[in-house]
Structure 1
Amino acid sequence: MSTTTSHTPEHIPESEGPHRPARLIQNEATTEIPVNLLFRDEPGPVSVSLKPAVVGRRQGTGEQPRFRRQLPSEPRPAAEVDPALTERPARVLPGAAGVLAGACGVAGCLATWWWAGVLPPLVVQALGLPLSAGAGLGPVQWGAYAGTGALALFGFGGLARGRTGWAWVLGLFGSYRGTVRRTGLMWVNPLLLRRRVDVRLRHWRSEPMPAADASGVALRAVVLVVWRVRDTARATLGVEDHETYLRECVEAGLARVPVEMPGSGRGPAETAGDALTRLVAADAAVVGVEVFSVQPVRVEYAPEVASAMHRRRIAALDAQHRSSVLTSVVDSVEDTVTRLAMRGLVELDDYERKALVKDLTVAFCAGRGESGR
């Protein structure tokens, strides 16, 4: 016989009944949610605009703690150089123009001296000029001398020799004026500041840098970086020293990419090299440096963990050797006992079989130990 217990709802005062919503759950720390949405049976998402919930719970209310929704983490801001700072060709003249201008300046200086009468007679005779009875260097002669001298200085002072694999980055009063990648003799404005940049394909073998494997064990890695300067303007003006910047990028990449010891069996060594190449190439591209390869060429344990890891490795190899020897002995004993039983050479009960297996195991292990020595 079952007994049914009924609960009678509490009486609601008439003064509060008409003004109180019957199908709403209201809380002072949350928004109002319709009851039919809490017990919804139809599948599908429900779009309800909710305010952020409070963190923690109020004492004495029995309310379960609710946590504020976590905002998605913002991506790491990428390094950026002035977009207007890109390599562009500079305006230069052929070297013959500078030589011609310098020769004209020198000839003008000699003519001014002859005009003023201060040119030595031996030089006049060597040049085949008539003797001049000039009155000396006056204001006119000084002006002509200054003009022709400036022409000679500009002509010969702007001569430059371009070499294969090198470039000139030109600047004037702190502003970028272009890059010269031409080879041979050329004339460049002597007022421009010249910076020579090596644009050849280069390789750099680093010193041992701190690294770690997938388990967090401290390592020292030597990497080989193959790179070159692609944008001379950004490499020279966008960063203080692009070679130091590249080194820091490699060190930062080693801190983010796990590097495994050779022969660890945890995956091909090319995986770490490919990941390092992608990271370093992305970080160095903003300063005009093109990275082709970053490959670890030597990996070793850090000095503080080298001895401990060496003992651990020896223990692992010893355990692996013992396991292989034991497996071989068990297989040999099983094969021997099975062949004796199948050929009918011996008839063994359980006790005799166990004794034979024990004796054979001891004999095979002893034989393996002597052969191993």
Structure 2
Amino acid sequence: MKEKEMFKVNGLFGVILFLVFAGIVVFSFRQFILSENFLMLTVAIVFLLLTLLLVSGFTIIQPNSAKVFTLFGSYLGVIKQEGFWLSVPLTARTNVSLRVINFNSDKLKVNDLEGNPIEIAAVVVYKVFDSAKAVFDVEDYKEFVHTQSETGLRHIASQYPYDNFNNDYEISLRQHSDEVADELTKDLQNRLVLAGVEIIEARIMHLAYSSEIAHAMLQRQQAKAVLAARKVIVEGAVSMVKSAIDQLSTEGIVELDEEKKAQMVNNLMVALVSEKGSQPIINTGSIY
């Protein structure tokens, strides 16, 4: 089912017709009372029915709204232009909002690519672009959006790991939110085009490990941070030790053989890398 334009005329023209028909009804009925001419009664009844039919053809379209028209089960078309209109009488009308709708999914418990249980939720921003599809191709387009959004979110969550600890993957859910949002938007658009719905944006708004593994994963993240910090400290300490030994040798301050160099390197590394403050030992030489 595709959207098509419904026949309509300006509602003011319909008001003029209504006044004309109503005038004919009043005039004909009055003539019947005065002359008892049944022809005038027939004219009055006919135009009264026409007036009632005319009234049933009036419709008002609000801004950013549409109405889908059917006549005895047959699809006629859609009016999306706001205003007061006269259309086909005796039609059934279904209102469809064309406004942007914001939908927050429930928190879902799924497994990521590595099998870790996580909690995830998303916000989906969408609007209807084809009123006929939204009305006729699905039972309830809003419920359809909700169900398919959760299905698409589960699918995307299972395609990526929560975190990229070992740089084994190009994209992770936590570190690449923009890339994941783009993939989620594309996936939902493919699912919801059937209902005439356009996805404007889909983005993860909640992401966390499930409670049963959250503590263990927090320890893992802390350990990773500690290792990264240690690596920086060791690299800096090595650079400082090398600079100190080179400067001592270049300026001839002290002559160091390989054994003394090794001892100095050991002492400096311990002093620089150790978390606790080092206790210096001063060598004053022999007293004898």
| Same topology, TM > 0.5 | yes
Preserved contact between residue 260 and residue 269 of structure 1 (Cα < 8 Å): no
Counterpart in 2 of 1:250? 149
Counterpart in 2 of 1:283? 191
**What is the rounded CA distance, in whole Å, between the counterparts of 1:186 and 1:109 in structure 2?**
23
After superposition, give the CA deviation of every residue in 1:332-353 in whole Å (9 maximum; x if it has no partner): 2333233323333333344433
**What is the rounded CA distance, in whole Å, between the counterparts of 2:30 and 2:145 in structure 1?**
60
Counterpart in 2 of 1:98? 14
Question: Deviation of residue 283 (structure 1)?
Answer: 1.8
Counterpart in 1 of 2:97? 198
In structure 2, list runs of 5 or more residues that go unmatched.
278-288
Counterpart in 2 of 1:16? none
**What is the rounded CA distance, in whole Å, between the counterparts of 1:222 and 1:142 in structure 2?**
69
**Matched AA of 1:358:** N
Q: Show the 5 A alignment for 1:289-368.
A: 289-366=197-274
Larger RCO (alpha carbons 8 Å, 6+ apart): 2
Q: Secondary structure at the match of 2:4?
A: coil
After superposition, give the CA deviation of every residue in 1:76-116 in whole Å (9 maximum; x if it has no partner): xxxxxxxxx21111222321332123223332343355345
**Matched AA of 1:237:** F
**Matched AA of 2:51:** A
**Matched AA of 2:102:** W
Aligned residues: 267
**Matched AA of 2:249:** A
Counterpart in 1 of 2:284? none
**What is the rounded CA distance, in whole Å, between the counterparts of 2:116 and 2:148 in structure 1?**
21
**What is the rounded CA distance, in whole Å, between the counterparts of 2:120 and 2:101 in structure 1?**
16
Say whether residues 1:163 and 2:62 are aligned partners. yes
After superposition, give the CA deviation of every residue in 1:37-93 in whole Å (9 maximum; x if it has no partner): xxxxxxxxxxxxxxxxxxxxxxxxxxxxxxxxxxxxxxxxxxxxxxxx211112223
**Matched AA of 2:152:** G
Please tell me the root mean square deviation across aligned C-alpha atoms, in Å: 3.1
**What is the rounded CA distance, in whole Å, between the counterparts of 1:259 and 1:362 in structure 2?**
42
Q: Secondary structure at the match of 1:329?
A: helix
Distance change in 2, residues 1:330/1:208 (3 Å): farther
Counterpart pick for 2:127 among 217, 228, 250: 228
Preserved contact between residue 232 and residue 288 of structure 1 (Cα < 8 Å): yes
Preserved contact between residue 104 and residue 152 of structure 1 (Cα < 8 Å): no
Counterpart in 2 of 1:89? 5
**What is the rounded CA distance, in whole Å, between the counterparts of 1:365 and 1:290 in structure 2?**
57
Preserved contact between residue 32 and residue 38 of structure 2 (Cα < 8 Å): no
Preserved contact between residue 65 and residue 96 of structure 2 (Cα < 8 Å): yes
Question: Deviation of residue 170 (structure 1)?
Answer: 0.5
Question: Deviation of residue 284 (structure 1)?
Answer: 1.6
Once structures 1 and 2 are overlaid, which stretch shifts more, 255-264 or 208-217?
A: 255-264
**Matched AA of 1:206:** N
Question: Deviation of residue 308 (structure 1)?
Answer: 2.9
Question: Deviation of residue 227 (structure 1)?
Answer: 3.0
Preserved contact between residue 214 and residue 260 of structure 1 (Cα < 8 Å): yes
